């Protein structure tokens, strides 16, 4: 198995994500440059956080046109595993791999802090080492993490169990007080219809070592490694 970490001008979590895969998950990994269409025979693609192209137009709006993203779209359409983190989630929405959009946080302030997220679907390639309803503590760091979609899309996401993470209290309660950015229905992460693409605003790579204050984020990466090493896990 082989992981690929995309690198855009302005990416700032690409090295962190690479470190987690290489030094903690002990898996082969390579950087994939935005200007090249080659995915170098990678088996999973990670779209890291940061400020791709400076977010000068709109978060993820310029990155979606990169040559590498055209290859990622085809890769995902063929069932390939794609994980978008923070700015990566924004890029996946802009590229049409996931529905909806990430808008500015309510309060119009950058928010950077650990949050609690409840696992709403534990049967995806990204959450199979988690328990349904488990509460994970993972940091966020964003200005535009306010997830929004129309009512029909929201109903579809719920019907097909595509809401994977929701902001919650430490006890697992879904409440406005636990929502750090105004996200619709406390949504922190969703997956594609096929379950092979996940976008999430929290940064699992920032919760991967005890030195960082917690290791809950490693469950995401261990899930990916496990599913790549064995039979694929379908979303429930």
What is the spatial distance between Cα 87 and Cα 79, in angstroms, rounded to a whole number? 22
Tens digits of per-residue pLDDT, 148-186? Answer: 999 999 999 999 999 999 999 999 999 999 999 999 999
Distance from CA of residue 86 to its chain's centroid?
6
Distance from CA of residue 99 to its chain's centroid?
13
Residue 225 has pLDDT above 50, yes or no: yes
Helices (H), the chain: 14-19, 67-77, 87-94, 151-159, 218-229
What is the arithmetic mean of pLDDT over 127-155?
Answer: 98
Residue 232 has pLDDT above 50, yes or no: no
Task: Quote the pLDDT of residue 231.
Answer: 57
Q: What is the value of pTM for the model shown?
A: 0.95
Containing 84, the helix (H) or strand (E) segment is strand 81-85
Domains and CATH numbers, the chain: 3-229 (3.40.50.880)
* Catalytic (active-site) positions: 86, 203, 205
What is the spatial distance between Cα 18 and Cα 24, in angstroms, rounded to a whole number? 10
What is the arithmetic mean of pLDDT over 143-150?
Answer: 97
């Amino acid at each position: 198995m082989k992981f690929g970490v995309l690198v855009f001008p302005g990416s700032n979590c690409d090295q962190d994500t690479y470190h987690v895969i290489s030094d903690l998950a002990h898996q082969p990994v390579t950087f994939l440059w935005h200007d090249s269409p080659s995915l170098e025979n990678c088996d999973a693609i990670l779209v890291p956080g940061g400020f791709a192209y400076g977010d000068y137009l709109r978060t993820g709006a310029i990155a979606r046109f990169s040559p590498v993203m055209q290859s990622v779209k085809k890769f995902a359409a063929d069932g390939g595993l794609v994980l978008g983190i923070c700015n990566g989630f924004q890029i996946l929405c802009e590229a049409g791999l996931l529905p909806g959009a990430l808008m500015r946080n309510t309060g119009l302030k950058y928010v950077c802090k650990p949050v609690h997220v409840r696992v709403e679907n534990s049967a995806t390639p990204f959450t199979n080492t988690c328990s349904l309803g488990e509460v994970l503590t993972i940091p966020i760091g964003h200005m535009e993490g306010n997830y929004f979609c129309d009512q029909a899309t929201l109903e579809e996401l719920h019907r097909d169990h595509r809401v994977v993470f929701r902001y919650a209290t430490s006890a697992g309660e879904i409440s406005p007080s636990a929502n750090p950015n105004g996200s619709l229905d406390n949504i922190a992460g969703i997956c594609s219809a096929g379950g092979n693409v996940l976008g999430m605003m929290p940064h699992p790579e920032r919760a991967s070592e005890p030195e960082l204050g917690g290791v809950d984020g490693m469950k995401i990466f261990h899930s990916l490694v496990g599913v790549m090493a064995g039979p694929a896990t379908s979303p429930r």
